[in-house]
Structure 1
């Protein structure tokens, strides 16, 4: 027994064969890295390694998909913000800046909620990464039609 009261067994051997382990020590060390710090190639390889080992790669898949959806935020926010800016012509720059900061904060929080939903498996990684863009784009297009009338 160990000091904690757990049972353990000691096996003595002269030589042990690890043919079943195909991962290199470098592959095993990747688990310590932060997914947000990996480049796309490393992230893709990490996902492949997890899948080969039979481990859950959901969190890494969400991060991978988010890397592709994130650059479209600029376009989506532009479509969303243009009708709002057009309808607030009488207000000052500070007011417009405040609205922009508020919209960015709302978008960022929605993005984080969907990322977490994807990471815990409630949404598929593709949906978790792209739904916030889709929601804001739909609302932005609706506002454009409404302001245009």
Structure 2
């Protein structure tokens, strides 16, 4: 063990051998780009557990993916109900405006999901909240459309 005290002062001390076994494997150095999307839910849970046990700080991406897998089915139901509400509205101008409004709402939802995912990845928002906020906001929008859109 070398100890430096200033630019020229150095001491050398010999210590007995130490075991430096690390819990690392060659597969740990492989690329993990978009890995979370390819794992099944049990594999994802095991991967998150391994990352936490190793003390990694980059679990936000994987936790976000896990929670989004639970929130997307709910979001599909909410967006379908919004589509039904918009299509049930009677209009003499035709269905073009209704279709356009449906597309705009779908694009706004996608942008909102991407924004909340990015906020979860940088740590500004908890992954659980980030996964459910878009669905909850669009649930409120759907309820407002149901209440105020003429039938």
* Same fold, TM-score > 0.5, yes or no: yes
1:51 aligns with 2:46: no
1:77 aligns with 2:79: yes
Structure (1 or 2) with the larger CA radius of gyration: 2
Q: Normalising to structure 2: TM-score of the pair?
A: 0.74
Aligned length in residues: 133
SS of 1:36's equivalent in the other structure is: coil
Structure 1 portions without partners, runs of 5+ = 1-14
Q: CA offsets, 1:113-149, max 9 Å, x none?
A: 0111111111111110011000000111122122369
Q: Normalising to structure 1: TM-score of the pair?
A: 0.75
Of residues 69-78 and 29-38 in structure 1, the stretch that sits farther from structure 2 once superposed is 29-38
SS of 2:146's equivalent in the other structure is: helix
Aligned to 1:104: 106
Q: How much is the aligned-residue C-alpha RMSD, in angstroms?
A: 2.4
Structure 2 portions without partners, runs of 5+ = 1-16
SS of 1:37's equivalent in the other structure is: coil
Q: State the shift of 1:98 in Å.
A: 2.6
